[in-house]
A and B are shown apart, each in its own frame.
Chain A
Amino acid sequence: MFRRLPAHLGKISAIVAAATVLLTGCSPEYAVLNPVGPVGKTEEHLIILSAILVAIVVIPVLILLAIIVYRYRDKPGNRAPYSPEWVDSKTLEYVWWGIPIIIIAILGAFTAKTTFSLTKPPEANVKPITIQVISLNWKWLFEYPDQKIATVNYCEIPTGVPVQFELTSDAPMNSFWIPQLGGQEYTMPGMAMRLWLQADKPGKYNGYGANFTGAGFAHMNFQAVAVSQSDFNAWVKHVKTSSPVLTKAGYNELKKDGLAKEASYSAYPPGLFNGVVMQNGGQYMYGSQTPSNSNSTKNSSGNMSNMNMDMSNMNMGH
């Protein structure tokens, strides 16, 4: 029994489990596979494309392995050919150097195209909204520079409108991730990074801090609430009229280690985001220019080389 089926059991369980993942993939828990906006959809398509392309190699390998291990087993009376001297075949080697090269070429082309396209706003004809995000230990602060309001641990966004998230950190680096809207981007001290996302369907979408920042990290979740433009406007108005003001002292209090509940503020200290970026090392990347509000064509997962060899010549201003 053991001698007969060495690899099979492992492989069968692998295939069954993989199939389970794929079949249940459409159930709503699979946030990445149930995107509600163009960025997430683009990434989902690429995920599916890459899965299919790698399957072209992996599935034949699994089948070949099963057949070979069974057919050439060392059993008395096994009549399968035995050719110990047959150890080289240029033709076969061309095949298995060639096929992966073609697959990687295809996948590489799609990767390049998408990587560049994600740096642009997902919707060209709609005026985007900007939200500035500061990750703190262990909570998320959102600022709406156009609406002049701020929130903690949740943000509201209008549906159908590209959202330009500007990300930084006033604590160890975290990563800003709302799987159903699209992929993540780090929040890093001294840098203002950009991420385009967009929701096309109203709803509450879970957001996560994806990079470990210490003891409270596991609780550093937030909600992205997508509502229609009119509801959004109403919400802004409500926050403006009914919420307290976030003062500089209030920010310093918020910055201290600890968890926080959802909160909203009708105003926040002007220039807070840029001040945080500059204070944590932004001066060496952006010189005297302001890191935020740069022109919107250079965006998303970033226009900042993290090689950091020479940041001074990067055109960040407008």
Chain B
Amino acid sequence: MTTLAHNNVEHHHGAGDHVHVDYPERPIEYQTQDGALKILGFWVFLATDLILFACLFATFIVLRTHTDGGPTGKELFDVPIFTAETLILLTSSFTGGLATFEMHRGHRNRVIGWLIITALLGLSFVGLEVNEFVHMAMEGATMQRSAFLSAFFTLVGTHGCHVSLGILWMTGIIIQLFQRGITPITARKVYIVNMYWHFLDVVWVFLFTIVYLMGVM
């Protein structure tokens, strides 16, 4: 929660549950000054997260041939599985976008519905990924086997952890929407979690290309 830099708005109420609107003319998620700051702050955070992934990608690219005589990507990656993962995640990004769309139209229940679908799609993505990891490990392809596998599990696993965190976060926001409806504060939360979700989708596109497609080629 932030303070006001500009003291040009009337304050008739204490804070607390009451939502104070600074900029009624803006889209709902930007209506409080705090909301606007947090959205910008989150954009900046995503930039740092992108660099974090870039470092992991660089590490993976350096180590992808370092298989130490162990299994290679070509032997391990299962085309139908990672294609399914990709389709599921792309779809979830779309349903997440629909939630934002309905939020701007003020339909609380539809926002909640689309968010639940998004989270469920995310959950099935994580489920597929965990299944994939377990199968690899059972075949002896663990992250201790070679530098390539260390880099693979860390890069893909970091993305998977991000998705899992996103699901938990989204669940929290769904509950808050039930409790409070669409307010400038809950709207900002829906907006930011969607930014995060789309970002993970973008990262996955690179993962899909660099790790999986280039791995099986």
Q: Do chains A and B touch in the complex (CB under 8 A)?
A: yes
Q: Which residues of A contact B (CB under 8 A)?
A: 281, 284, 308-309, 312
A281–B62 alpha-carbon span in the complex (Å): 13
Query: Cβ of B66 < 8 Å from any Cβ of A?
Result: yes
Cβ contacts B31-68/A at 8 Å (1 or 0 each): 00000000000000000000000000000011001100
List, in ascending order, chain B residues with CB within 8 A of A312's CB: 65
Closest residue of chain B to A312 (Cβ to Cβ) is B65
B145 to chain A, nearest CB (A): 15
- The answer to whether B62 and A309 have CB atoms under 8 Å apart is yes
Q: Decide: A309 and B61 in contact? CB cutoff 8 A.
A: yes
Which chain A positions have C-beta within 8 A of B66? 281, 284
A308 and B65 contacting across the interface, CB-CB below 8 Å? no
Residue of B nearest to A281 (CB): B66
- Residues in A neighbouring B62, C-beta threshold 8 A: 308-309
Q: How far, in angstroms, from A281 to B66 measured CA to CA in the complex?
A: 9
Q: Taking CB as reference atom, which chain A residue is nearest B66?
A: A284
A312 to B65 alpha-carbon distance, docked (Å): 10
For A284, the chain B residues whose CB sits under 8 A away are 65-66
CB distance from B205 to the nearest CB of A (A): 22
* Complex: chain B residue closest to A284, CB-CB: B66
Q: List 7 A-B contacts (CB under 8 A).
A: A281-B66, A284-B65, A284-B66, A308-B62, A309-B61, A309-B62, A312-B65
Smallest beta-carbon distance B163→chain A, Å = 29
Interface centre among A281, A284, A308 (most CB of B within 10 A): A284
| Residues from chain A with Cβ under 8 Å of B65 in the complex | 284, 312
| Closest chain A CB from B59 CB (angstroms) | 10
Q: How far is the CB of A305 from chain B (nearest CB, A)?
A: 11
Minimum distance in angstroms from B154 CB to a CB of chain A: 17
Give complex CA distance A310, B65 in Å.
10
CA distance A281 to B65 in the complex (A): 12
In the complex, residue of chain B having the shortest beta-carbon distance to the beta carbon of A308: B62
Complex CA distance for A312 and B66, rounded to whole angstroms = 12
Chain B residues positioned under 8 Å from A309 (CB to CB): 61-62
Q: How many angstroms from the CA of A308 to the CA of B58 in the assembled complex? A: 10
The contact string, 1 if C-beta is below 8 Å from chain A, for chain B 131-144, is: 00000000000000
Tell me which residues from 100 to 143 in chain B have a Cβ below 8 Å from any Cβ of chain A: none
Kindly provide the distance from the CB of A245 to the nearest chain B CB, expressed in whole angstroms.
32
Interchain CA distance A23-B140 in the complex, whole Å: 66
Separation of A309 and B63 alpha carbons in the complex (Å): 9
Residues from chain A with a CB closer than 8 A to the CB of B61 are: 309
State the Cβ distance, A197 to closest chain B Cβ, in Å. 31
Q: Report the separation of the CA atoms of residues A308 and B65 in the bound assembly, to the nearest whole angstrom.
A: 12
Nearest-Cβ distance from residue B153 to partner chain A, whole angstroms:
19
**Bound complex: CA of A309 vs CA of B65, how far in Å?**
11
- Bound CA–CA A284/B65 (angstroms): 7
A312 to B61, CA, bound (A): 13
CB distance from A50 to the nearest CB of B (A): 33
CA distance A309 to B62 in the complex (A): 5
List the B side residues contacting A281 at CB < 8 Å: 66
Chain B min CB distance to A312 (Å): 7
A308 cross-chain contacts in B, Cβ below 8 A: 62
